[in-house]
Structure 1
Amino acid sequence: MTDHGLRIDHAVSSGTFSLDGETFEVDNNIWVVGDDNECIVIDAPHSVDDILAVVGDRKVRAIVCTHAHDDHVRVAPALRERVAAPILLHPDDRPLWELAHGGPDDVDAYLWDVDLADSMPIEVAGTTLTVLHTPGHAPGAVCLSAPDLGCVFTGDTLFQGGPGATGRSYSDRSTLEQSIRAKLFALPDDTVVHTGHGDDTTIGAERAGL
């Protein structure tokens, strides 16, 4: 813990998710980890203003994307401009990122700044979050383990009630289940799971159901 109140702040932002020619209304969780002075933002859904309302006047050290579906990265470049922080994404998700932000032939395309990798540490406010590469929902999907806070941020890899969706392009159910068993079920049962959508759960509760 730090002298400035290490904590997790949360809000929900509403918008759309589009892939494979279909678009859905969706509510996304915004997670901000830090203290009174600095923080990281996990995912950048829908609205920069919604995210900044959670950040407040703190220094943003990084925008960490759990994967590159458009409802998680759509406003990442705009947020980067507002807070002058790098965007972190696993490079295996480049095909999905390019669907949202343009490919190599697009002069207006944006890229992220730092490649995430399995076991990579992300430090903020005196604590360390560890990157867990958990492909399946998306090729470059990651979770962020925060043992000091007793939790893991799973994006769309694991929800209350089971694994994330795998019915769309760049997803695979058996890969996802293998990722969950190898990386997430290695965590203690009482680890709180903060998801990309919907309510929290625990590793123990989800272990019993898979």
Structure 2
Amino acid sequence: MNAKKIHSYTGGHVFTNGYVVELDNACLVIDAPALIHEVIQQEGLKPTHLLLTHQHFDHTEDVEALQKLGVKVLQHSPYNETLIRQKEARENWGLPVDIKPFEADEHLEGKDSIEIDGTEIQISHVPGHSPDSICFYLPALGVVFAGDTLMEGSIGRTDLPGGSHETLLEGIRSKLFTLPDDTVVCSGHGSQTTIGNEKKHNPFI
């Protein structure tokens, strides 16, 4: 199974990446930065599933808009205001964040993989940046959507509620660095990279 196309979008208050993967009979959205639904509609795409790497506000601002389009939401665990962090965003940073509580169609906690439109999606729970952080690896496409777990030359912040530097590094080594070196890493912030490049050059690991 090959994707027809993988789109990337960067938006929201902290320049968060979201992705859209066109399959034959499905259209996957990975993370929901603000206004990604408008870009999807402008492209004439018909999103079917939203896969959330974690619940931080910058990755979930557009969940409500996507649900109104009929998109099924899949995430690690139920909505959690502490994980969303929008109160902190509003009061400490002055960001006009307004995310209403939402219900997912499927919780992925404890699951190693799912299949959508004949495409296998392997799931790795890699906490450390956020307790609910998960990565989505599509072996047929050679790409892993890593959220804020692993980024080009960097890793996710671990000074947030529920964060752990040691836990994050261990998860990256055991669950991401075991992927093929040529696996493309699509992260929540910054540019694309590869597993091989990060194994060689990431200064945090």
What is the TM-score when the length of structure 1 is the normalising length? 0.80
CA distance in structure 1 between the partners assigned to 2:162 and 2:31 by the alignment: 19
- Please give the alpha-carbon distance, in whole angstroms, between the structure 2 residues aligned to 1:89 and 1:119: 11
Correspondence for 1:38: 26
Which residue, out of 31, 39, 49, partners 1:50?
39
| CA apart distance, 1:57 | 3.6
Deviation, 1:174, is 0.9
What is the 5 A alignment of 1:79-98? 79-82=66-69, 84-91=70-77, 94-97=80-83
CA shift for structure 1 position 137: 0.7
Gapped regions of structure 1 (runs ≥ 5): 17-25, 102-107
| Residue type at the aligned position of 2:75 | L
Do 1:134 and 1:157's aligned partners in 2 also have CA atoms closer than 8 Å? yes
Residue deviations 1:123-166, cap 9 Å, x none? Answer: 23431111111101100000001110011110100000031121
Distance 1:136 1:199, change over 3 A: same
5+ unaligned residues in a row in structure 2: which ranges?
88-99
Deviations along 1:60-82, one digit per CA (max 9) or x if unpaired, are: 33111000010101111221112
Structure 1's 136 and 40: CA in aligned 2 closer, same or farther, altered over 3 A? same
- By percentage of residues, which structure has more strand? 1
**Aligned equivalents of 1:76, 1:89: Cα separation in 2:** 11
Q: Give the match for residue 181 of structure 1.
A: 173
1:76 to 2:73 alignment: no
The 3 A distance-change label for structure 1 pair 120 and 44 is: same
* Map of 2:51 onto structure 1: 64
What number of residue pairs does the alignment pair up?
Answer: 189
Percentage of matched positions with identical amino acids: 38
AA partner of residue 6 (structure 1) = A
Distance 1:52 1:124, change over 3 A: farther
Measured after TM superposition, the shift of residue 118 of structure 1 is 4.5
Relative distance call for 1:190 and 1:98 in structure 2 (3 A) is: closer
TM (normalized to structure 2)? 0.82
Does 2:189 align with 1:193? no
Partners of 2:181 and 2:109 lie apart in 1 by: 24
Aligned alpha-carbon RMSD (Å): 2.2
For residue 94 of structure 2, what is the aligned residue in structure 1? none
Greater CA drift, 26-35 or 126-135: 26-35
Matched with 1:129 is 121
Aligned to 2:133: 141
Q: CA deviation at 1:194?
A: 0.8
